[in-house]
Chains A and B, each alone.
Chain A
Amino acid sequence: MNKHLSNGILRKYSQSTTNNIPKISSTLILSRLPVITTELSKFEKLFYKYQEELWRRLMWTFPKWFYFNQGTLAELRYKQLNKGSMSYDPKILYPRGIPDLKQGRDRRFRQYIKAPKPYKEIDELSQEQIKEIEEQKLKNNGEELINKDDLTRKIIPNQRVTKADLNKDDKSLERRLERTLYLIIKVNDSWILPTFENEKNSTSLHELAESGLYKIGGDKINYYNVSRIPCHVKESNNNKEYFIKSHILSGIYEPQDKKNDYKWLTKEELKTYLPNFNEIEHLFSEV
């Protein structure tokens, strides 16, 4: 009986060595992190504005005497821009309450300081100057002439919406700057996250993912592997699919085989492309 049992176990082991070697593959979750801050909702904007105004009321009075020495040209320019508030007169009735004046500032409210600017705002320009700028714009294909070497130029932030967004270019890394993008590729007419099978018995999962990525996407990718530990495993039949998380830092993904299509998509967009999205939904970022 005992002999029989041990034989049975032995057979089981021998089976596993011949047929049941699990097929290990490594799936790469390659993401491009958000480049800009998220767009705030209207409520959030109002909340922050309200809180900021409350905070600004507590601000210290600007120490003019510290930054501008008396009798200097700088002080004169400052005085021309910043006219002091009215003095308090007890005979006058103040509808908004008695002013709390200290150092020429009403301490009930925030203080606005005007600093001399090396450029002029649109409302400060004369009509002739505005005409000149518009003529220049027409000559320059509708774009304003900006001398980028000029350090005193007005700082204008870039657009949150890029050209890739306007062209609906799924293959650009410059689309949806406020969201995390994930790489998917098209294999045999179905969209998947890049998966690499362990053919050469690689030593580790992340190395397998790395060599696979360079093979399909070229070596112009500078990426950061978050950890050697996989963040998810999908087991089916005899396959074990390990998910390796990494971020693309710079460079571009160039498909080595021209037939292979690829896309950079956000979490919501992935839903329509990946068939097993519900199983791996938690691996993708909401932002």
Chain B
Amino acid sequence: MNSRHFIRQFSQTTTNLKTGYSTVLPVHHLVKVEKAKLKPCYSEVVIPSDDIRSNKFKPTEIDQDRVQDHYYNTLESDLLLKFYEHDSKTIPGLKKREWGTDSPFKVFRKGKRKPKGSAIETQDIIPINYQNIPKLNSIVINSYNKNALERPWMNICTRLQLATITNKKPKILYNKSNILPWKVRRGKECGAKVELFDREMNQFITTLTEIVLPRLRAFEGIKLTSGDTNGNITFGLNADDILLFPEIENFQELYPNLNGMDITFKTSARTDQQAKTLLSSYGFPFYKPVKNSG
């Protein structure tokens, strides 16, 4: 108890025994300051990476982007007209509910009740106007390599394959859980993924729609059932299909261990239907899978 009296606090100018307090709010010890960066010799480090003076600067507008031009010149206005509905209103999504007060147990219950008819909240569907025309935000290429679980060097092949196709350094995927029958162990490398934006994304779309997909004999299109209900569409290519990418096609003997990949189109559309219309306007075909009866 005695030692406490002698602890000097930020709000106090003298020892704890005396009266009096500071009127200035003690904010300074809540903000983390990296003093090294404030030194004049580190001024280059503080420059943001999109500034041309920064040593991390990477130019993004390097050439004319015809896919983007096509979107802004033609698709954008067409999609606005296509999705326009007279007198349409926002369709509210499922939201979390209050517990209510009809039982004493509910009164002080923490958190909110899950939405009716669903385990998770869903988005509001807003009518399309000139401000929220669906747009392709990014493409994620994900390649899960189960062979890499036993032979870790095989993941190098997967990373190389993605890097050659997309011209971007892939991120390594790691297992999250232990499932022993599948030899899945937490923290093991199991594939790679890349997220493409802007020019790189548009370049990849061109490669897919003009070179790779037209030459796939068995390819009918993306399944109409694809989609995560929030406007993101996924389809897969297997290892044989990847041979058709022009970067790999001429050097097939250098890539003996190709791996299939999942391609996800992240769009700003709020429904799958809108996202599929957007993708089909970029030249991706869709087909209705036939159900196997009996």
What is A's interface to B at a CB cutoff of 8 Å?
Answer: 33-34, 37-38, 40, 44, 47-48, 51-52, 54-55, 58, 66-67, 180, 226-227, 229, 231, 245, 285-287
Contacts and interface: CB of A to CB of B under 8 A. Distances in A.
A47 B60 CA distance: 12
B118 interface: no
Given A226-B78, A227-B84, A285-B77, 11 more contacts: A37-B64, A37-B69, A38-B69, A48-B62, A48-B64, A51-B59, A52-B59, A52-B62, A58-B58, A229-B84, A245-B78
B254 A67 contact: yes
Contact of B81 (A34, A54, A245): A245
**6 residue pairs, one from A and one from B, having the closest CB atoms:** A51-B59, A287-B73, A52-B62, A55-B59, A227-B81, A227-B82
B261 to A, nearest CB: 21
A248 to B, nearest CB: 13
Contacts of A67: 251, 254
B61 A51 contact: yes
Nearest to A31: B74
A287 B69 CA distance: 10
Given A52-B59, A58-B58, A33 B64 contact: no
A47 B63 CA distance: 9
B66 interface: yes
B270 to A, nearest CB: 19
A66 B254 contact: yes
Contacts of A54: 57, 59
* Chain A at the B interface: SS class: loop
A285 B62 contact: no
Nearest to A40: B64
Interface in B50-78: 57-59, 61-64, 66, 69, 73-74, 77-78
A133 to B, nearest CB: 29
A55 B81 contact: no
Contact of B61 (A33, A48, A180): A48
B66 A37 contact: yes
A33 B58 contact: no
Interface residues of B, number: 20
A233 to B, nearest CB: 12
B63 A48 contact: yes
Contacts of A52: 59, 62-63
Contacts of A229: 81, 84-86
Contacts of B81: 226-227, 229, 231, 245
A66 B254 CA distance: 8
Interface in B208-241: none
A67 B66 CA distance: 31
A285 B78 CA distance: 11
B64 to A, nearest CB: 6
Contact of A226 (B58, B69, B82): B82
Contacts of A66: 254
Contacts of A227: 78, 81-82, 84
Nearest to A287: B73
B82 to A, nearest CB: 5
Contact of B73 (A34, A44, A226): A34
8 contacts: A34-B73, A47-B61, A54-B57, A55-B62, A226-B78, A285-B74, A286-B73, A287-B73
Contacts of B59: 51-52, 54-55
Contacts of A38: 64, 69
Nearest to A244: B81
Nearest to B84: A229
B103 to A, nearest CB: 51
Contacts of A48: 61-64
B246 to A, nearest CB: 14
Contacts of A47: 61
A71 to B, nearest CB: 16
A33 B281 CA distance: 13
A245 B74 CA distance: 12
Contacts of A33: 74
Contacts of B66: 37
A37 B67 CA distance: 10
